Chains A and B, each alone.
Chain A
Amino acid sequence: MSVSKKVDFALESMKQKSLGSVKVLMIEDDSMIQEMVIIKLVSHGCIPYATKDGSEAVSMAEQYKPHIIILDLMLPGKTGEEVLKELKEHTDLSNTPIIVFTNKSSHEDKETLIKLGADKYFVKAQTDLNDLVTTIKDLVSK
């Protein structure tokens, strides 16, 4: 089944779910991870936008005005840290909650990114996607 068909299928099965109309921008260069997370988010009603390139992140955020941004750190174009700094200095986007989603698992990395303004920090390999969904719910309800 193609990605779009999978997404359509998930869209159909999620109509009653709780995150309807929440726009999520995912900046992630690993296709498989991007696809998995999007299927999960769509099944909970989110409207997903995605890019694999760090240098497109800010312009996409300006264009689609997401409620939440999920940001990987090791990206082509611009690093996740650079994207985070730009978003936090942006007049219209500085208040958009950012979830860092990375496999950099040191506590030092986490502390640095939280200090830079990330709202949450997830280590992909240690993440249950249901926790990611719960965190999005919490952040949008604030």
Chain B
Amino acid sequence: MNKEKPTIESLQAEINELNIIIVGLENTSKMLVRRDLDLKKAHNNLKSLDKEKTDFVAIAAHQLRTPLTTTMWAHKMFLEGDTGNLTSKQKDLAERSFASVKHMHALVEELIQVDKLEYGNTELKIQSGNIQKLIETILAEHTLKIAEANLTINKNYSYAEPISFDPYKLSDALGNLINNAVKYTPDNGKISITIIKKASNVYIEITDNGIGVPIGEESRLFHKFSRIKNAEQVDAGGSGLGLYIAKKIIEKHKGTLTFSHNDGPGSTFTVKIPC
């Protein structure tokens, strides 16, 4: 097949076309660089706005902490008769406002905890310890509630070797999970706590036959301020921060916190921590 030799003119025309394409590409590249800079700027602005918003919430929470604490103490002293006896009407009002103040106070404490987890000194103070002992300490704090609700606690501790964790922070995380199990399990219900080791991880499973989580609401469980509908019916005063805090703390231990439905009623929360 004969192919015509390119002429100088045709080559020049191709070079011109290529030059036009190169200029176009250069312009597109410059435009993309500008867009990238704009996006980075917008991202930084959003980050800064988010930090300002978080700082505002944290400052507000810290400022509210002391007045709410003293208001709560005052209500309690009224109700306990430390400042004299109340009439039944005064007592009724004091009881209701005490409940509101207590709720606000708990919310403020959790907001401060979230702020510390997100922006404070996040370094864990890792020590060697026994998870079983940690769980027993948490359960001891709930003795009264467990007895009042006649809950059965099944313990399956098949791993008792010491592992490395921050006892204070992990106690907060497991405390939130056990507190939820106690709070959302009806009278005469059952809570099972299992500790097992699989491969190089320790698993802590907290299972209850309580109110459970409605299908479709699972993904919201660990979001900040997220509350599922049936939990609100049991405890309207919850902040929706407990599971968020627990997950953050467990993730700092390079672990995971997951939820699963039971075959019957209730929920299972599983903590996995490397050991």
Residues of A near any B CB (own CB < 8 A): 6, 9-10, 13, 30, 32-33, 36, 39-40, 43, 103, 105-108, 124-130
B residues engaging A (CB < 8 A)? 65-70, 73-74, 76-77, 80-84, 105, 108-109, 112, 121, 125, 168
| Known A107-B125, A129-B77: A30·B66 in contact at CB below 8 Å | yes
Is A39 a contact of B76 with CB atoms below 8 Å?
no
Q: Are A103 and B84 in touch, CB under 8 angstroms? A: no
Q: Is the CB of B70 within 8 A of A36?
A: yes
Contact A128 B109 (CB under 8 A): no
How distant is the Cα of A32 from the Cα of B77 in the complex, in angstroms? 14
Q: Closest CB-CB distance, B173 to chain A, in whole Å?
A: 14
Determine the residue in chain A with the shortest Cβ distance to B121: A106
Report whether B69 and A124 are in contact in the complex, using a CB–CB cutoff of 8 Å: yes
Determine if B66 and A124 form an interchain contact, defined as CB atoms under 8 angstroms apart. yes
Check A107/B168 contact, CB under 8 A, given A10-B83, A39-B83.
yes
Bound-complex Cα distance A93 to B169 (A): 35
Cα separation A103 to B70 with both chains bound (whole Å) = 12
Chain B residues in 8 Å Cβ range of A103: 65-66
Contact B83 A129 (CB under 8 A): no
Question: A127 → chain B, closest Cβ, in Å?
Answer: 8
Nearest CB in chain B: distance from A108 CB, A = 7
A138 vs B18: C-alpha distance in the bound complex, in angstroms? 91
Contacts of A13 in B (CB 8 A): 81-84
Query: Are A9's CB and B84's CB within 8 A?
Result: yes
Sample (12) of A-B pairs whose CB atoms are under 8 Å apart: A13-B84, A36-B70, A36-B73, A39-B82, A39-B83, A103-B65, A108-B125, A124-B66, A125-B69, A125-B105, A129-B73, A129-B76
- State the CA gap A130–B84 with chains docked (Å): 17
Distance A94 CA – B119 CA, assembled complex (angstroms): 39
In the assembled complex, the Cα of A127 lies from the Cα of B76 at a distance in Å of 12
* Minimal Cβ-Cβ distance residue in B for A33: B70
A40 to B72, CA, bound (A): 13
User: How many Å lie between the Cα of A96 and that of B268 in the bound state?
Assistant: 49
Could you say which residues of chain A place their CB within 8 Å of the CB of B82? 10, 13, 39-40, 43
Contacts of B77 in A (CB 8 A): 36, 39-40, 43, 129
Which residues does chain B contribute within 8 Å of A30, judged by CB atoms?
66
Minimum CB–CB distance from B100 to chain A (whole Å) comes to 17
* Nearest CB in chain A: distance from B22 CB, A: 61
Collect the chain A residues with CB atoms within 8 Å of residue B112's CB.
Answer: 105
Do A128 and B76 touch (CB < 8 A)? yes
Q: A10-B83, A108-B125, A124-B66 are in contact. Are A36 and B109 (CB under 8 A)?
A: no
